[in-house]
Amino acid sequence: MYEGERVSVGVDNGVATLCFDAGAGAVNKFDAQTLAELEAAIDVLRAAEGLSGIVVSSALDDFFVGADINEFGAKFRLASAELRAWIVDANAVFNALEDIDVPTVAAVRGVALGGGLELALACDYRVAADNAQLGFPETGLGILPGFGGSVRAPRLMGADNAIEWIADGRSRGAATAHDAGMVDAVVANESLAEAAKDMLARALDGDFDWRARRAKKTGALRLNAVDGALSFEAAKGQVFGKTQGNYPAPIKAIEAMAAGAELARDEALEIEHDGFVALAQSPVADALVQLFINDQFIKRKVKAGSGQAAAVDRLAVIGAGIMGGGIGYQAASKQLPTLIKDVDESALDSAVSEAARLFAKAVERGKIGQADVPAGLARLRPTLSYSEFAGVDLAIEAVTEHPKVKTNVLAEVEAELTDGTVLASNTSSISIDALAESLENPEKFIGMHFFNPVHRMPLVEVIRGHATSDATVATVTTLARRLGKTPIVVSDCPGFLVNRVLFPYFFGFMALIDDGADFVSVDRVMEEFGWPMGPAYLSDVVGLDTSQHVESILAAGYPDRMQRERQTSMDALVGAERLGQKSGGGYYDYTTDKKGRPQKTPSAAAYELIADSRESEARTFDAAEIIDRLMIPMVIEAARVLEAGVADSPHEIDTALLMGLGFPAFRGGGALKYADQRGLGDICAAADRYSHLGPLYEPTAQMRELAARGDGFFAAATR
């Protein structure tokens, strides 16, 4: 009846099948073309005679992944009236499907998310294959379901369920969706088409009252007025508690559901449209959509290189300390047989018992079954010798951070590996080129900087030396993905990417303390800004001696701006052996409460040491100054990293800062997007206000050029 490129309609015995097929290797998603074809197909169906019902299905493994974020993200920048007109038109298509004069059933297999789930919701019934994953990820992108999801979901599954699904943005399996009333039946994937037709036949036979079902979805939401208002208010309170008001989308979605509850579909949709437009044009949505685009960008890049990657079926980790043990566990938990080698048997024992503890935790969380544990643990094989290294496909060195120790160990390991095997170092601060000097095969050598704790931290900085080959890069980035991590490739430079950009922020912090600021106030301001911890607390967690060591490397690497002339609070604390959390105290004192939970209190001793170490009197600073004095140096250093080509794109730089440091997502999720959102003109003006603080506050010439023409890092990079 209709044959588009992505949508087709066939009829068999009066039953039409509206089928989505974006083609092999692609996924069904709402881009302009798919939406236009759906509209045309529905026009054909509405005009068709003798039709008894419609099944909506996908020819691919997944039903429908949702909207095309790249395309729709661009729409968010339209003028409000235009954006609203577009969403109204799109909804007219969904409404036309919902209002068609025959019963409709969606046959959902695999993924049905966002606009895809909303498409299924426009049908009278939903049959799901047992592999279906359904959900509304929109609030995670800073928007709300805009194709009628906030109207139809509460009417179908009740306000409580709809609030939960829409506000948390998570996807759910078929059985959960069935219990919640989102789907009407769950069947084996092979029987899906048949089950959908069967459901249609029963609706036609009168076993199911499809008109009543439709009336429920298009009428007002029947709530007991008091209970309804309470559940919306309670949900808003809960979401607010979790998001500190920094993420407006889930709140607005709940408000739209509440305000539309008493209304019939078309009026309720008006409220949804208003909420959608307001959110889509907010900076938070702009930031969260950017994170999605960054993520896709990196995945595509790794995939594009994967053709050159060597297969890794056996891994070796050298050094069974905190990091080596963590990498070993991560590999074993991702089905990769891993040898873990140390010179100290007790280190091997600790690594294995730590892995056992993490496997037990995974069981507790329901991620794996108890039965999976022995096989998982068996994949991690401790050893004191190199006897099996010839059979290894990739080796990661994670021994003590000392150039001499590392040089010796790397040479030793290289000699044991079969020629051509990639060798990586988890060094956090030593130059990859320097370590490569004593190796036979520097083209097979690379940095693979995992973060602590390995099982939780999603980032791997991949450091490419001058001699490192493309195939070596491809092998470790592909392995990083397999380990569930996000690899960001950077070139070898002091501090690599993350520490290089973090330390100018720390320098800003230390200068602020020297000028009389209170570290507790600074921590509070930066935590309110959105960082997971303020700079004093973060220094304590990292360890002040470790910070001092990295700082010395950066000072030597970038003496023009990172060499400091005088002692700081950090030196005073280290001098008094206050090394941070690990020594019981740094800026804060660390104790445990009666229940054994860690407690931190600002340390009187630290206050004294700081007062003695600085010339200025204590004084208060307003939040804006604190933020600028820390954030501006970070932004400028991130710009330098981009300009120097240390990383290829703003997408990768920001992702490294998001994943390595926890850069607040709602503030742009990275220093470059943060700067773009503030405007580079504003950033340069703020930098100029603090130029007396030194060259860390001097914007680059390129930044000034971008600022002068009202441009941004991302806009310039993607043009």
C-alpha to C-alpha distance for 683 and 678, rounded to whole angstroms: 7
| Interacting residue with ligand NAD among 11, 85, 322, 377 (CB under 6 A) | 322
Q: Give me the catalytic one of 178, 449, 455, 651.
A: 449
CB of 599 to ligand NAD, least distance (A): 23
Q: Burial code of 458-484, b = ≥16 C-beta within 10 A, e = fewer?
A: ebbbbbbbebbbebbbbbbbbbbbebe
Least distance from C-beta 344 to ligand NAD, angstroms? 4
Binding residue (CB under 6 A) for ligand NAD from 41, 180, 288, 320: 320
Half-sphere exposure (Cβ direction) of 236: Cα atoms closer than 13 Å: 15
In sign, the C-alpha dihedral spanning 142, 148, 151, 152 is negative
| Amino acid present at 656 | A
Alpha-carbon span 481 to 411, nearest angstrom: 27
Cis amide linkage into residue 453, ω under 30° from 0: yes
- Pick the binder of ligand NAD from 103, 250, 319, 580 (CB under 6 A): 319
* Count of residues interacting with ligand NAD (CB under 6 A): 25
Segment contacting ligand NAD (CB under 6 A): 189-197, 205-213, 316-324, 570-578? 316-324
Of 27, 127, 302, 323, which lies in the binding site for ligand NAD, with binding defined by CB under 6 A?
Answer: 323
**Binds ligand NAD (CB under 6 A): choice among 409, 423, 553, 680:** 409
CB 533 within 8 A of CB 527: yes
- State both tokens at 236: 């808003």
| Catalytic site includes residue 651 | no
User: Of 24-32, 75-83, 399-407, 648-656, which part binds ligand NAD (CB under 6 A)?
Assistant: 399-407
**426 or 649: CB nearest ligand NAD:** 426
Half-sphere exposure of 226 (CA within 13 A, CB side): 0
Decide if residue 718 touches ligand NAD (CB under 6 A): no
- Residue with CB nearest ligand NAD? 321
Calculate helix-pair angle for 680-689, 701-708, nearest 10 degrees.
Answer: 130
The rounded distance, in Å, linking the Cα atoms of 365 and 71 is 37
5: contact with ligand NAD by CB under 6 A: no
CA 532, CA 157: separation in Å to the nearest integer? Answer: 36
Cα distances (angstroms) measured from residue 272 to each of 31, 214, 408: 20, 19, 64
Min separation Cβ 392 and ligand NAD, Å: 15
Stretch that binds ligand NAD, among 19-27, 238-246, 392-400, 656-664 (CB under 6 A): 392-400
Q: Which is nearer to ligand NAD, 409 or 707 (CB)?
A: 409
Q: Which of 405, 411, 708, 715 binds ligand NAD (CB under 6 A)?
A: 405
Our CB check for ligand NAD shows the closer of 138 and 342 to be 342
Q: Which is nearer to ligand NAD, 224 or 385 (CB)?
A: 385
- Helix axes of 650-661 and 498-514: crossing angle, nearest 10 degrees: 60
CA dihedral 94, 99, 104, 109 (to 10 degrees): 10
- Cβ-based nearer residue to ligand NAD, 585 or 660: 660
Supply the minimum distance, in Å, between the C-beta of residue 148 and ligand NAD. 47
| Residues 354, 382: Cα–Cα separation, whole Å | 13
What sign for the dihedral angle of Cα 573, 578, 581, 585?
negative
Residue entry with tokens 């500190």? 244
> Which one, 236 or 449, has the nearer CB to ligand NAD?
449
Per-residue binding string, ligand NAD, 333-362, x by CB under 6 A, is --------xxxx--x---------------
| Contact pattern from residue 441 through residue 480 relative to ligand NAD, giving x for each residue in contact according to CB under 6 A and a dash for the rest | --------xxxx----------------------------
Q: Which of 235, 398, 497, 610 binds ligand NAD (CB under 6 A)?
A: 398
Question: Residue 395: what are its φ and ψ, rounded to 5°?
Answer: -125, 135
Identified binder of ligand NAD from the candidate list 318, 647, 661, 686, rule CB under 6 A: 318
Residues 550-579 that bind ligand NAD (CB under 6 A): none
Nearer to ligand NAD, 175 or 405 (CB): 405
Give 239 or 432: the residue with its C-beta nearer to ligand NAD.
432
CA nearest 316: which of 376, 388, 377? Answer: 388
Binding site for ligand NAD (CB under 6 A): 318-324, 341-344, 347, 398-401, 405, 409, 426-428, 449-452
The catalytic site residues sit at 449
